[in-house]
């Protein structure tokens, strides 16, 4: 019996060594073959002549098209007069690169170089099976090109912005590099990491589509104005799509106290809950539900868009009188504004109003609306709305939402569904 188990152990150790040896070999071969197709992308500040961001890029055709992440070249896209792009090839030579097209929502960019590569990557046509071995290539922290083995784990579930789950270690600087299958075909573009071997890739379909679009744009000297206009259109389409999905999805309700609030808002919003009931000496109960879109769209610096957050707070007290509780209500209505990231050059100030209204359930409420406009992207707004149900002096519901980078029509459409979803039971 003892001898058998020992045999098994030995056999498995032998098998493992063969497999891992094969893996090493494969990675080595892949890296050796594709190294000339990998470059380091730099965004150079024209004033200081220093790099302001770095990332990895790769050639996808012999005609000189390079792929990287949008966030690697964001500064050059948004301020072309301040930043220029260059790349360092396999032979440590520096060359210029020009922007052709970007997909801001999926964090992709296509650049063009007059240098023709000897080796280039080909784009995979279909996703590998879950559990398949893949290799991520890139230049982490400016340390030189490396290869990282990982496992393909399918598309991230319950997420509005599609990403591939990669079990493997991506690090800053590898952004924009390719992840390839064992056959050497690109199956995704390195984009971000959540630590502990949990990394994300842009799915290959997104790149295939953008690349096809980019080939249509024959003129390489693409004007920045039109690139900004294309980004504006991408943001507009994206927000139209996510608000429509939020609006058309079924919201399931549940009862909290005397009010009914949404429990789930379709499949793209993730909801979390909490309450203060375990706190000592509290004079009132607050039960909170917060729902949000898991990620957002990076534009540049601290300017992000494309997110949605919703919050419901049911507040009730038997101990406080009406005037005292009104203070609690007021503080909740005031403190409730979500923080939305944008710089002073990106947006206008908020324009706000507050007034008493009645929704279609005939519930009287106070509403506070605050709206600011994007400066660079016409007709896109950040919208905040918070409301508090009146009519009961012992309890209330504070409900609010913040939508990033939406059009007026979409904001109004969402507003109508939202206010009618709030009601006393």
Partner 1 sequence: MELVIEFISRNKKVQQFEKCSGNPISIGRAYNNDIIIQDEHVCPQHAEIYQDESGELFLINNDSVNGIKDYKGKEIASRHPVKVGDIFQLGKQFIRILDTSSAVEPTKKLHLLESFSTKINHWYFSAVALLVFFAVNTAMTYFNTTSKIIWSQIFLDGFFGITAVIFISFLIGLFAKIFKKEVKLFTILNFVVFCVLSIELLQAIGAVLIFNWGQTSTLQFGDTLINLSLMLLFLWGTFYLASSMRYRTISIASASLVLLILGFQIISSIDTDEVVLYPQISPTVLPEYFLFAEPQSIDSYTENTDSLFSEAQKEAERRNAESEK
Q: Which residues bind partner 1 (CB under 8 A)?
A: 281, 283-284, 320-331, 333-334, 337, 339, 342, 344-345, 347-360, 364-375, 378-379, 381, 384, 388, 390-393, 408, 411-412, 415-416, 419-420
The pair phi, psi for residue 377, each rounded to 5°, is -115, 100
Least Å distance, CB 423 to partner 1, is 13
CA distance 246 to 255: 21
Cβ nearer to partner 1, comparing 127 with 373: 373
Cβ nearer to partner 1, comparing 14 with 357: 357
Partners of 285 in beta bridges: 316
| Surface-to-core class of residue 205, CB atoms within 10 Å of its CB (0-12 exposed, 13-18 middle, 19+ buried) | middle
Partners of 247 in beta bridges: none
Partners of 391 in beta bridges: none
Least Å distance, CB 420 to partner 1, is 8
Asked whether 297 and 304 are in contact (CB, 8 A), the reply is yes
Least Å distance, CB 424 to partner 1, is 13
Least Å distance, CB 59 to partner 1, is 38
Q: Which residues contact 298 (CB under 8 A, 6 or more apart)?
A: 70, 71, 74, 104, 107, 304
**Residues belonging to the chain:** 425
Cβ nearer to partner 1, comparing 198 with 390: 390
The DSSP 8-state label assigned to residue 28 in this structure reads H
CA distance 39 to 138: 8
Cβ nearer to partner 1, comparing 132 with 371: 371
Least Å distance, CB 100 to partner 1, is 26
Least Å distance, CB 304 to partner 1, is 13
What is the per-residue DSSP string for 185-236? Answer: EEEEEEEEE-STTEEEEEEHHHHHHHHHHHHH---SS--HHHHHHHHHHHHH
Cβ nearer to partner 1, comparing 17 with 361: 361
Least Å distance, CB 32 to partner 1, is 51
Least Å distance, CB 271 to partner 1, is 24
Cα 357 to Cα 5, 18, 317, 363, 387, distances in angstroms: 76, 72, 24, 8, 10
Cβ nearer to partner 1, comparing 68 with 421: 421
Cβ nearer to partner 1, comparing 161 with 329: 329
């Amino acid at each position: 019996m003892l001898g058998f188990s020992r045999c098994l152990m030995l056999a498995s150790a032998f098998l493992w060594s063969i497999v891992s040896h094969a893996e090493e070999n494969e990675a080595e071969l892949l890296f050796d073959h594709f190294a000339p197709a990998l470059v380091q992308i730099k965004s150079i500040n024209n004033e200081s002549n220093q790099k302001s961001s770095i990332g990895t890029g790769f050639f996808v055709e012999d005609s000189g098209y390079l792929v990287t992440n949008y966030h690697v070249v964001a500064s050059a896209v948004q301020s072309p007069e301040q930043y220029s792009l260059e790349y360092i090839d396999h032979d440590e030579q520096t060359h210029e690169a020009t922007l052709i097209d970007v997909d801001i929502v999926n964090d992709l960019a296509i650049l063009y170089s007059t240098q023709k590569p000897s080796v280039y990557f080909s784009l995979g046509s279909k996703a590998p099976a879950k559990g398949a071995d893949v290799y991520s290539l890139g230049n982490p922290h400016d340390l030189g090109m490396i290869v990282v083995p990982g496992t393909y784990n399918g598309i991230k579930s319950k997420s509005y912005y599609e990403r591939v789950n990669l079990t493997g270690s991506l690090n800053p600087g590898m952004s924009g590099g390719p992840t390839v299958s064992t056959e050497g075909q690109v199956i995704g573009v390195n984009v971000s990491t959540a630590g502990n071997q949990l990394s994300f890739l842009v799915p290959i379909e997104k790149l295939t589509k953008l690349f096809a679009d980019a080939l249509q744009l024959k003129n390489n000297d693409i004007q920045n104005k039109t690139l900004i206009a294309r980004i504006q259109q991408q943001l507009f389409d994206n927000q139209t799509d996510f608000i429509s999905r939020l609006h058309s999805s079924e919201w399931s309700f549940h009862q909290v106290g005397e009010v009914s609030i949404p429990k789930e808002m379709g499949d793209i919003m993730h909801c979390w809950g909490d309450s203060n009931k375990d706190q000592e000496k509290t004079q009132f109960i607050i039960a909170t539900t917060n729902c949000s879109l898991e990620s957002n769209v990076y534009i540049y610096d601290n300017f992000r868009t494309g997110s949605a957050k919703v919050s419901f707070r049911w507040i009730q007290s038997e101990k406080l009188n009406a005037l005292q509780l009104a203070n609690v209500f007021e503080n909740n209505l005031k403190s409730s504004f979500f923080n939305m990231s944008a710089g002073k050059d990106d947006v206008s100030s908020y324009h706000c109003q507050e007034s008493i209204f009645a929704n279609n359930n005939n519930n009287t409420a106070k509403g506070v609306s605050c709206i600011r406009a994007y400066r660079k992207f016409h007709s896109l707004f950040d919208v905040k709305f918070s409301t508090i149900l009146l009519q009961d002096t012992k309890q209330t519901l504070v409900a609010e939402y913040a939508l990033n980078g939406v059009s007026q029509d979409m904001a109004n459409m969402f507003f109508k569904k939202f206010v009618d979803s709030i009601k006393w039971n």
